[in-house]
Structure 1
Amino acid sequence: MTTELRAPARPTAFAIFSIVAGAIGWFASFELLTEYIKTLRDADYVPNCNVSVLVTCGPNMGSWQGSLFGFSNTIIGVAAFVAPIAVGVALLAGARFSRWFWMLYQLGLLGGFVLVCWLFSQSVFVLGTLCPWCMVVWSVTIPLWWTTFFRPYAVGDVPVSAGAQSVFKRLYSWTWVIVLLCYLTIAFLAQLRLDWLAEFSRM
């Protein structure tokens, strides 16, 4: 009598989410990069994300915060968002990653999450603007981080004790609440500082 070994189910939903979120983030970063290059070529060029005095990306791209490491932050986005796309495609193809990979991937996403939080604070509290393409990047980086932080431990991709896995399973099931709270916090702080609701009502 032989025992048939079943291959573990592929995380299709998580893989597709990673691909879609990565693609959206990459597209927004690419748009910012192309607009930035156009402003370098033509000082009078008006970026397509300059909607109003408040909703604009021009001041962000031209500030030191927009080139934190000596080059445009958009280059980081174009390069970094390839990672979740590649991870999602690999998972759909049946790949299974080692513990070290998930730890390294989480570290990269944590760096992106921290950078997004810092850029948000600089944009709202220092520059006084809301960059449309930047907000798209924020909107996908936040769920990418929280989902990928909880999931590997919740599903056993990264082995932990039974008690710890139970905690991560519960946290993973509440990921959407944590992401929503992040969005609401951003909206609240932006409203408090910039009154963006009044600005959008005039548009």
Structure 2
Amino acid sequence: MSHEPRATRPVAFAVFSIIAGAIGWFASFELLTEYMKTLANPDYVPNCTVSVLVTCGPNMGSWQGSLFGFSNTIIGVSAFIAPIAVGVALLAGARFSAWFWRLYQLGLLGAFVFVCWLFSQSVFVLGTLCPWCMVVWSVTIPLWWITAFRPYAVGDVPLGAGAQRLFSRLYSWTWVIVLLCYVVFAFIAQMRLDWLSEFARA
């Protein structure tokens, strides 16, 4: 009888992936349903409309909101299934090949770049902050950075000892990088839109 030790399941990473994916999916679904309601009734006021600044109406109705010819919300509802599925599979004991992690990272990198672009369009072009969009941004940022470093740091993608130590150090600083991204986003939005004054008046 074999008594080889079973690989430790990455419970924390798996649970994080599930929760982040579920939050992103819910926010995307809310945006999609609100978008459909505005299509059915042009006078409908979306539930994310708080003020002239904090609203999703202009974003949904803009070309930026349908970059590929259909609502970006459809991308979110579809794409956020991936981290949920990855997290559930890891909890069940799945082990993915290196090619899978690289493909998954490529998808998350695309999501991160897309989020950065959408943020720039919201702040510098549309002049609004969409609450549900900000939820999507908030979960996409850590999903990307954590997954960018972790597979190399823990050996899921084999590297030389020196490279793995480097990624281990980077991985230990992940939350600092994530926090820095949040601060940069908030600072740019404040300089451009003065959102703190908006919330103070609310």
**For this structure pair, what is the TM-score category when the shorter chain's length is used for normalisation?**
over 0.9
Equivalent residue number for residue 126 of structure 2: 127
Equivalent residue number for residue 13 of structure 1: 12
Equivalent residue number for residue 53 of structure 2: 54
Equivalent residue number for residue 105 of structure 2: 106
State the distance in 2 between where 1:71 and 1:167 align: 41
Equivalent residue number for residue 115 of structure 1: 114
State the distance in 2 between where 1:123 and 1:161 align: 42
State the distance in 2 between where 1:146 and 1:7 align: 28
Equivalent residue number for residue 87 of structure 1: 86
Question: Over residues 9-57 of structure 1, what are the superposed CA-to-partner deviations in whole Å (9 max), with x where a residue is unaligned?
Answer: 0000000000000000000000000000000000000000010000000
Equivalent residue number for residue 97 of structure 1: 96
- Opposite residue 164 of structure 2, the aligned amino acid is Q
Equivalent residue number for residue 74 of structure 2: 75
Deviation at 1:66, TM superposition (A): 0.1
Instruction: Name stretches of at least 5 consecutive residues in structure 2 with no aligned partner.
Output: none
Equivalent residue number for residue 30 of structure 2: 31
Deviation at 1:5, TM superposition (A): 1.1
- SS of the residue corresponding to residue 94 of structure 1 reads coil
Equivalent residue number for residue 139 of structure 1: 138
State the distance in 2 between where 1:37 and 1:4 align: 56
State the distance in 2 between where 1:9 and 1:135 align: 34
Deviation at 1:4, TM superposition (A): 2.9
State the distance in 2 between where 1:74 and 1:96 align: 30
For residues 3 and 43 of structure 1, do their structure 2 counterparts lie closer, same or farther at Cα, with a shift above 3 Å needed? closer
Deviation at 1:7, TM superposition (A): 0.7
- SS of the residue corresponding to residue 165 of structure 1 reads helix
- Opposite residue 127 of structure 1, the aligned amino acid is L
- SS of the residue corresponding to residue 6 of structure 1 reads coil
State the distance in 2 between where 1:19 and 1:54 align: 31
State the distance in 2 between where 1:43 and 1:26 align: 25
Say yes or no: does 1:173 pair with 2:142: no
State the distance in 2 between where 1:82 and 1:119 align: 20
State the distance in 1 between where 2:167 and 2:150 align: 7
- Opposite residue 10 of structure 1, the aligned amino acid is R
State the distance in 2 between where 1:86 and 1:42 align: 35
Equivalent residue number for residue 151 of structure 2: 152
The TM-score, its normalising length taken from structure 2, stands at: 0.99
Deviation at 1:3, TM superposition (A): 7.4
Provide the aligned length of Structure 1 versus Structure 2.
202
- SS of the residue corresponding to residue 172 of structure 1 reads helix
Say yes or no: does 1:42 pair with 2:41: yes
